[in-house]
Copies of this chain bind each other. A is one copy, B any other.
C-alpha cells in the first residue's frame, strides 16, 4: 500500500490555537505517543501524521479546517482499520469532526466496492427498469407475523414497486424470525411477479419486484441469514454497516450475499460528514445502494448534504461501480417530482409510512408511486443529467 490519505477535520478552536490542535490530532490519529520519544527517525517520518494545511472553516467563526496526511500503510486494506485511522480515537474528542477523506489510488483499489452497482439493481428488476429511477418501500411495523408481512409484500409487488425492503427495525425477533419471514415474503413476491407477467399490462411485463430482507447480528447469525438468502433466491439484502460493523458489511454481506446490497444509516450519527460516510465509504465497502434521510423529512440533513451524498455514491471512483442514492425518511409520493429533479433518474426513492398511511387506499397509492417512477424514464429532459454518473 503506497501513498497517503488526505483527511480533513473540522476543529473547534481559534485560528491561533489551530496549529497546535492539528498537530496533536495528527499524533492522536497515527503514533499516539510523544513523537520525540520515537527514536527511529525514518519510522517517525513514515508513520506520524502530518499537518498539510489549516484554514478557516466556512461554517463559522471559532471553527478551523485542518487537512492531515496519514500513511496508507497504517490502514492496510481493511475497512474497519480505515475507520480507525480516520476517526478512531478522535471520535472521543468532541472538538473534532471528520469532514472529508481522499484515499490514494492503491487504497481505493484495494477496497471491495459495489459488486452490482446501479446497473445491477436495474437488471434485477428487469427491462422496464432501464434508465429510470426506482421505487422502494418498506415492510413495517415490526411485530407483525411472517404471514402478514408476506401479505403486505404481495400487495406492494402487485402494485409494481421495484424494491421492497424490511424495515430496519425488523431483524430476527420472535414475532417474525428471519428463517420463517424471508421464505414467506419471498414466496409472496414471486407469486406477484408471476401474476404480473400474465396481466397483459405492457408497463409491468417482465417486471420483477425485488425483496431486500434485513440481515443483522453476529457473524454466525449473518452467515445463516445469507445462506437462506441464497437458498431462497432472494434478490437483494439490506444491512446497517454501523450495527454489524464495517468489516462484517464489507467482508461478509458484500462477499456472500450474491445479490445487490442496500446500506441503511441506522446508528450512523456522529461527527462524520454524511457524504463521506454514507456516500464514499459505504460504497467503497460494498454498498450497491445507500439510504439517507432526505431533507424536509423527519431528519435534519440539509439539501446540500443530501446532494453531496448522491454525488459521492455516483461520482467516478477508481475502478468502482456507482451506487444508487436512496433518499428517504418521511418522504411523500407528492414529492417524487421534486426529488427526481434534484437527484436525477439514477436514484431509488424510498417511501414507506406514507403508503401505509393510506389505509385501504394503500394499493392504489403504491401503484401511483411505482408507475410515476416507471413513467419518469420517458420524461427525458424533465430531469437534469445524473449528477456525476456515467451509469445513468
State the A residues within 8 Å of B (CB).
1, 24, 28, 30-34, 36-40, 43, 46-48, 71, 73-76, 78-81, 83-85, 87-95, 138, 140-144, 167-169, 171-175, 216-222, 240, 242-248, 250-252, 265-271, 293, 298-301, 329, 352-353, 356-359
Residue of B nearest to A252 (CB): B219
Q: Given A84-B267, A167-B32, A169-B85, are A250 and B218 neighbors across the interface (CB < 8 Å)?
A: yes
Q: Which residues of B contact A298 (CB under 8 A)?
A: 24, 28, 93
Partner among B140, B219, B265 whose Cβ is within 8 Å of the Cβ of A219:
B219
Q: Within the assembled complex, what's the spacing in Å between the Cα atoms of A38 and B10?
A: 43
Do A141 and B245 touch (CB < 8 A)? no
Q: Given A220-B251, A269-B270, are A43 and B143 neighbors across the interface (CB < 8 Å)?
A: yes
Q: Which residues of B contact A220 (CB under 8 A)?
A: 251-252
Q: Which residues of B contact A242 (CB under 8 A)?
A: 91
Q: Which residues of B contact A142 (CB under 8 A)?
A: 30-31, 47, 74
Do A172 and B78 touch (CB < 8 A)? yes
Can you sample 26 A-B contacts with CB below 8 Å?
A: A24-B298, A28-B298, A32-B352, A33-B353, A33-B357, A37-B356, A38-B141, A47-B143, A73-B175, A78-B171, A79-B218, A80-B218, A80-B244, A81-B172, A85-B169, A88-B168, A88-B240, A91-B268, A92-B266, A92-B300, A93-B269, A216-B247, A217-B247, A220-B251, A222-B247, A245-B248
Minimal beta-carbon separation of A378 from chain B (angstroms): 32
Minimal beta-carbon separation of A35 from chain B (angstroms): 9
Q: Which residues of B contact A252 (CB under 8 A)?
A: 218-220
Residue of B nearest to A169 (CB): B32
Do A73 and B247 touch (CB < 8 A)? no
Partner among B31, B76, B91, B266 whose Cβ is within 8 Å of the Cβ of A89:
B266
Do B81 and A217 touch (CB < 8 A)? yes
Q: Which residues of B contact A245 (CB under 8 A)?
A: 243-248
Do B80 and A216 touch (CB < 8 A)? yes
Q: Which residues of B contact A39 (CB under 8 A)?
A: 359
Q: Within the assembled complex, what's the spacing in Å between the Cα atoms of A298 and B83?
A: 20
Residue of B nearest to A266 (CB): B88
Q: Given A33-B356, A88-B243, are A43 and B169 neighbors across the interface (CB < 8 Å)?
A: no
Do B174 and A353 touch (CB < 8 A)? no
For the complex with contacts A32-B167, A32-B353, A217-B251, 12 further pairs of A-B residues with Cβ separation under 8 Å are A32-B138, A34-B353, A40-B144, A73-B143, A80-B216, A80-B244, A81-B216, A84-B267, A88-B169, A95-B300, A269-B270, A269-B271
Residue of B nearest to A265 (CB): B92
Q: Within the assembled complex, what's the spacing in Å between the Cα atoms of A18 and B269?
A: 21
Q: Within the assembled complex, what's the spacing in Å between the Cα atoms of A270 and B94?
A: 8
Partner among B31, B83, B250, B265 whose Cβ is within 8 Å of the Cβ of A140:
B31
Do B89 and A168 touch (CB < 8 A)? yes
Minimal beta-carbon separation of A41 from chain B (angstroms): 12
